[in-house]
Structure 1
Amino acid sequence: MSIEEIPQGAEVQVISKDEKKARDLIKKLNLKQVPGITRVTFKQKGNLIYAIDSPDVFRSPAGTYVVFGEAKVDDMNKRIAEAQAQAAQQEALSKAATADDKSPEAITADLEAASLLDKKEDDEEEEEGEVDESGLDSADIDIIIEQTQVSRAKAAKALRKHDGDMVNAIMELS
């Protein structure tokens, strides 16, 4: 297969003769490929780490592993420094974002305060006006007040809205 025949964007893996021979021997040894491994690291004395990204890993029934891939020296101190720099950058970004935004707890508290304020305003509006109980049973209104802990005016309004149906009036006010 020539280079012109390879579709653009296709993932191509070049395998040396020795690696191909080793893979054929692995198939004969009945080793099973282990899927889902994205990185293999080997540690030597003195924080020297060899890393293989996107390896092909095979396992024998006895628990021996064979790993194929390009090993690169991984400097752990450099990685730690990069991780710390990224963490500091993310912290700075989050501080800048929270300067404008609030935490979820603060937003929840604001919403609860606003809903309580709206309830108080509604109660004040209804309590100011006279309660029109004409055509309604006062015992029904008393039961709604007892079940929902609302004002008499609000209970009468809900009962009137549902044409005297106590269940729906209670459900609306609960």
Structure 2
Amino acid sequence: MSVEEIPQGADVNVVPQNKNEKKARELIKKLGLKQIKGISRVTFKQRGNLIYAIDAPEVFKSAAGTYVVFGEAKIDDLNQRIAEHQQQQQQQEALSQAAQEDKSPEAITADLQAASLGEKVEEVGDDEAEGAEEEEVDESEFDSKDIDLIVEQTHVSRAKAVKALKNHKGDMVNALMELS
């Protein structure tokens, strides 16, 4: 497009072109390809729902029906979009369910009291269980370094680490997975 063709006062964005793009555009002009106006987005679909999208492309068409597209291609993963959309729907459903529940001050107070009582019961139960486990522990069949590693990685007592090793016949990986 020459300067004479641009109307006075028009907003024109000049995109700098590299050497390869300039050469390609010159060859396209020699081939007789015609530019198609009004296309806002071009997408190419690949296996696995992988989509390449070009926003605001320059599209040229030959007489035979082939197209040449110029623009910056960006990857648009359809699987990721679907997962994000499903997650948003689940969040909206959870919010709508929460809004439908009773939000009176009495109900909130009752929920808080039940939660605090539940935590106290769990803490007492855990302390009693740890005390019972720490009474009798036979570490002789396992290497102390293995036990130390499990205690360090999972932040549990030595007794729980030994018990997990016994449950998995000395397999450290499965013991770590059980305690994690």
Give the shorter-chain TM-score range: 0.3 to 0.5
Structure with the greater alpha carbon radius of gyration: 1
TM-score, normalisation: structure 1: 0.41
TM-score, normalisation: structure 2: 0.40
